[in-house]
Structure 1
Amino acid sequence: MGKLAQRVKALTPSSTLAITAKAKELKAQGADVIGLGAGEPDFNTPDNILQAAERSMEAGHTKYTPSGGLPALKKAVINKLAQDQKLTYEASEIMVGIGAKHVLYTLFQVLLNEGDEVIIPIPYWVSYPEQVKLAGGKPVYITATADSDYKISAAQLANAVTDRTKAVILNSPSNPSGMVYTKEELKELAEVCRERDIWIVSDEIYEKLLYGAVEHVSVAELSEDAKRRTIIVNGVSKSHSMTGWRIGYAAGDREVIKAMTDLASHSTSNPVTTSQYAAIEAYEGPQDAVETMRTAFEERLEAIYPKVAAIPGFRLLKPQGAFYLLPDVSEAAQKTGYESVDEYAEALLTEANVAVIPGSGFGSPDTIRLSYATSMDQLTEAVNRIHQFTEEKWQK
């Protein structure tokens, strides 16, 4: 008798969690490891949010809530979407879940039938393909290169659509590239989706982390048709430094949202009650801390980008959002004697004591992902170590 279901046997473990775990293990052994793998802000949750959570517990709000989220939190999400995206939703079109990751998982479970195809641009967030496969779907990949700023074109999308295509995933700002789709680019992609009648899954979790004059545009803003076929996925994790609170949401088609809510009623019962009250404050309270964090990330980017670009064998674009750099380090790996970027990244951890995420986990094996969600001192030291390590091993 087999122990495990086939669907979990085929899973690829999260590379981001794996490298973080190994870095922590080395730290526990006494190594001075600097981690650049973090996918979360290095700030604590703002005080007003912590206080709101405490007040909710003291008031006795520690019981079950509706499966799709507290009405007051849905209202806060609706107000946020109206203010930031000028989009109008009703409570029946909002589902609150246990983090944006679980919201995405639930969405694919209710959207996909066996063999349905979901188009995923490369580089991608590590969990997209696995979640699609767990729902019985088939990931179909489109490679976006540095020459196109790691963004797919409408022509690429049109060529990838088949009779089995159910949806395309758009992540802007992107994890891992940090690139952002323009309004015109999104219009062209949305037109393909309209012509071929496919869903758009719009992951906007890094929406508040934009730099320079770049603006965030949700594809759902572009037209009534785009809104009708788009499911927005977002949450408070990155914007308000609430990764551990696990609150995300989906906004979109009423029938899809109901199905997601029904599934949640049998899988999670409801999002954590205290976390929901904290999220209400996150959306309805002062937003000063959001801008403070964004500014800090932008300052780090400006300081660290030229230092990373100066490392021998590194080629990279300057990101427009999120808090990651995605350099192509294939030349650095080859010139330092490693057969792959994965091996180079492993050596950075074990020999230089710097933890980075190999790009193979994002479908981009020539790259590594560096997170600048850590202090400037740590960032500077980590980049200096990578530079020194690469120069010392460089084979002339």
Structure 2
Amino acid sequence: EQHTILRQLRHELLLQYRPILQQGAGPIRVMARMVAELEKRCRELHITEEVMQDEIVNRTIGDVNLRLITECEGEPGGPGDYRMMAEELGIALPNEDINGYVAPGETYLWLRNQMLECERLLLSEGFDLRIYDILAVGNPVLRGWLAEEMQRWGISVTREQVYLGLGAMDSINKVLCGLSQMYREQGLTDVAVLFPEPGFNIPEWQARSYGYRLLNYQTLPEDHFKITASQLEELLENDPHIRIIYLTVTNNPTTFAYSPAELDAINAVVSRYNAAGREIFILADLAYIGTGKPEEDQARMATFTSPDVLRHCIFVSSLSKTHSLTGERFGWVTVGRADIAAAIAAGWSNSMAALPADWQLRYMAYVRLIRARPWLVEKLRALYKLRRQRFFAQLQHIDKEQHLFEHIFVDDDATVYNWSQLRPGEDAFSLFEKAGIAGVPGSGFGYSDEFVRFSIGVIPVPEIPLTIP
């Protein structure tokens, strides 16, 4: 009976929310809000959690909640016990029960001690976080550490070319703000930003707020939803005002990553225009570099290392997805040219008087933790892969029974998502009604609603035998 009541509630909410989406509201927020309201109504009617878990699977948001990890491959406490990651990453409180694993909380306490040590280190270097930092780009010690991390990829920069940000979104916003100020000083009134679609759309809203003209380009499924060098060449030729290219090296939502050859070809196009006197920057979003195979990510990053390429690049990095630290908001910007770094610094000083003191200390403590435990990123990558494979098998199983999908794409072994194409006549709403899985329509990423993005992050994925076509 509770299953029937829940399905009726779900149907009613779908009828209510579908017009809202069609009116142009943000699809990610619409879907997440609809699921939240459904869960709220179910609890008001005292529908059991077990029934809700059967009928409502929220795959709209990408974050991995370390406290909700249940997967344990092999012996409890062994290398495949992913429940321990909340302890290993310092999230779990002392004696917190993580689905049967009781965390000692040692890492949680260690991080706090490291914050104390890092503040002493900064004071010994003559930098006091408790007063204004006029430039607001972050303390020089941490920026130096992050410059060293970029150097591990082969990116030759100093700390003067690294600025901190409150996650990737804030970092992108500050870059766009700083560049817009630079362009105003140069007397440029028409500056276009190229956004290949489908793609993460918040930078589009940010760019629009700073007065940029947006050029959205629909990529093709046959190109694995990636812009090609020849397409870029044509776009740059046809629009002489394109000065920024937003490039997600490993893509959200599609899960496909640019190959080294594809990146080399794109960089060659941009380098030719820069050599001819037309300054074009690649704003490279590296949010998911580190979630892919290490040797493949290293090869991708190697395409940016030559001086002729590095000079037109601005990189945005984050620990949110690579280390599942989404709530901590640890981001940074690396600028390929020192003069451009200085020119866009206004994006920081005009937005805040100083970056938060304790946030910087916690950031420093986490950098020390990650350096002390280099295996963390590989363990988290293994969890992502496990969940992606299980979810792929789950979609196969659903499709075998209900024939909802035209194409379930196999990812490039990276990110925390699945990108799939629905059959004609289906959309994210009908999928939610028939299968109980809530994803984000393609329109949330500037694409067609015949596509849908699912997250494998927030909640675990049930195990179903996997068949790779």
Moved more, 220-229 or 288-297: 220-229
- 2:379 pairs with 1:367: no
Q: How does 1:288-307 map to 2 (within 5 A)?
A: 288-307=375-394
Alignment partner, residue 5 of structure 1: none
- 2:360 pairs with 1:276: yes
Alignment partner, residue 206 of structure 1: 288
Alignment partner, residue 105 of structure 1: 173
- 2:348 pairs with 1:264: yes
For the 8 Å contact 1:174–1:206, the answer to whether it is kept is yes
Moved more, 59-68 or 110-119: 59-68
For the 8 Å contact 2:191–2:212, the answer to whether it is kept is yes
Alignment partner, residue 132 of structure 1: 207
- 2:158 pairs with 1:90: yes
Q: How does 1:309-328 map to 2 (within 5 A)?
A: 309=396, 311=399, 312-314=403-405, 315-320=407-412, 321-328=414-421
Alignment partner, residue 101 of structure 2: none
Task: Supply the distance in 1 between the matched residues of 2:175 and 2:167 (Cα, whole angstroms).
Answer: 12
Alignment partner, residue 29 of structure 1: 41
Amino acid at match of 2:66: F
Task: Supply the distance in 2 between the matched residues of 1:110 and 1:123 (Cα, whole angstroms).
Answer: 25
Moved more, 370-379 or 183-192: 370-379
Alignment partner, residue 339 of structure 2: 255
1:364 Cα deviation (Å)?
Answer: 1.5
For the 8 Å contact 1:176–1:369, the answer to whether it is kept is yes
1:38 Cα deviation (Å)?
Answer: 1.5
SS at 2:297's partner residue? coil
Distance 1:29 1:352, change over 3 A: farther
**Structure with max Cα Rg:** 2
For the 8 Å contact 2:178–2:345, the answer to whether it is kept is no
Distance 1:317 1:37, change over 3 A: same
1:40-67 Cα deviation digits (max 9, x unpaired): 1222561277445523666795735631
SS at 1:267's partner residue? coil
- 2:266 pairs with 1:173: no
1:340-371 Cα deviation digits (max 9, x unpaired): x3xxx234446754321111011121211001
Alignment partner, residue 32 of structure 2: 20
SS at 1:245's partner residue? coil
Amino acid at match of 2:112: E
Task: Supply the distance in 2 between the matched residues of 1:379 and 1:357 (Cα, whole angstroms).
Answer: 23
SS at 1:221's partner residue? coil
1:240 Cα deviation (Å)?
Answer: 1.6
Task: Supply the distance in 1 between the matched residues of 2:432 and 2:381 (Cα, whole angstroms).
Answer: 28
4+ residue runs over 6 A deviation: none
1:325 Cα deviation (Å)?
Answer: 0.9
Distance 1:23 1:196, change over 3 A: same
Distance 1:291 1:272, change over 3 A: farther
1:265-295 Cα deviation digits (max 9, x unpaired): 2322333332322322333321332221110
1:281-314 Cα deviation digits (max 9, x unpaired): 3333213322211101111222222432452242
Amino acid at match of 1:105: N
% identical aligned pairs: 19
- 2:195 pairs with 1:120: yes
Moved more, 209-218 or 192-201: 209-218
Alignment partner, residue 270 of structure 2: 193
Task: Supply the distance in 1 between the matched residues of 2:169 and 2:393 (Cα, whole angstroms).
Answer: 32
Structure 2 alignment gaps of length 5 or more: 1-23, 44-51, 68-85, 91-105, 120-128, 184-188, 275-279, 465-469
Task: Supply the distance in 2 between the matched residues of 1:190 and 1:352 (Cα, whole angstroms).
Answer: 43
Distance 1:122 1:289, change over 3 A: same
Alignment partner, residue 112 of structure 2: 54
1:379 Cα deviation (Å)?
Answer: 8.1
Alignment partner, residue 228 of structure 1: 311
1:239 Cα deviation (Å)?
Answer: 1.3
Task: Supply the distance in 1 between the matched residues of 2:145 and 2:110 (Cα, whole angstroms).
Answer: 14
Aligned length in residues: 359
For the 8 Å contact 1:14–1:126, the answer to whether it is kept is no
1:92 Cα deviation (Å)?
Answer: 1.1
